[in-house]
Amino acid sequence: MGRPRTNDEAVRERLVACATELLATRPRESVTVRAVAAAAEASTTAVYSLFGGKDGLIGAVRDRAVAGLFQDLATVRPSADPLADLYALAVAYRRWGRGHSHLYTVLFGGVQSFDPSGAVGAADPIRPLLAAIDRAVAASVLAGERTSIAVSIWGTLHGLVTLELAGALDAVRAEAAFHSTVHATLRGWTTPEVFRALRRAEPAP
């Protein structure tokens, strides 16, 4: 009979979860192998056995955040309305951030940089946004360079979600701000024809 595995998937899960919480709530330099192992009730040996060390553990946290956000954004299927698709992506982004606040904080707190002009991997969260922007530009709904549009939309979303997670906006204000600000941002990139059509469709004051 072989020796039982002590550094199994359950230990790995605890280490990733504890590292995520510590990275999101403490200065990064204080997140040591010993601190994570103690929080997870595991040995430091487990960190090296399962991840190769601190960098590998942080990489696992990063990968989980990237994959989770990508999966949520990828559930938004293209429709005949590119603007509606972009708004749906914004909703999915906010939903993931609110549901995974620690992963969100780690993802956009320096562990994983956001670079819409860089190489796009198969599970890069920016892929669905860039694809929707490309469809909108091709349909003459949006006008502009894709990276500039992507940074504008992401900056808006990041600011709104960060304020909401920090408690700076209550539920009612956060909902209203999200709706009005995202629509205003998207409208700012629309072509003149689409902008005029949107204005005509607005209800009279």
- Residue 103 near residue 21 (C-beta atoms within 8 A): no
Place 4 in a pLDDT band, splitting at 50, 70 and 90: very low
**2 pLDDT exceeds 50?**
no
Residue 111: other Cβ atoms inside 10 A = 19
Select from 98, 80, 187 the least CA-distant residue to 144.
Answer: 187
Residues 124 and 48 in one domain: no
Residue 33 structural domain: 9-52
CA pair distance 190, 185, nearest whole angstrom: 9
Residues 113 and 41 in one domain: no
Q: How many residues does the chain have?
A: 205
H or E stretch including 137?
Answer: helix 126-138
Residues 149 and 183 in one domain: yes
Q: pLDDT (tens digit, 9 = 90+) per residue, 183-194?
A: 999 999 999 888
Residue 4, in any domain of the structure: no
**1 pLDDT exceeds 50?**
no
Reduced 3-state DSSP string for 53-98: CHHHHHHHHHHHHHHHHHHHHHCCCCCCCHHHHHHHHHHHHHHHHH
Structural domain count of the chain: 2
Residue 57, in any domain of the structure: no
CA pair distance 31, 145, nearest whole angstrom: 40
Q: pLDDT (tens digit, 9 = 90+) per residue, 60-97?
A: 998 898 889 999 999 999 999 999 999 999 999 999 99
CA 41 from centroid of its chain's CA atoms: 29
Q: pLDDT (tens digit, 9 = 90+) per residue, 40-63?
A: 999 999 999 999 999 999 989 988
Plot region of 4 (φ>0 → left; ψ -120 to 50 → alpha; else → beta): beta
Residues 143 and 93 in one domain: yes
Residue 1, in any domain of the structure: no
Residues 127 and 196 in one domain: yes
Average confidence (pLDDT) over 129-137: 94
**118 pLDDT exceeds 80?**
no
Residues 70 and 109 in one domain: yes
Q: Which pLDDT does position 204 carry in this prediction?
A: 53
Residues 38 and 120 in one domain: no
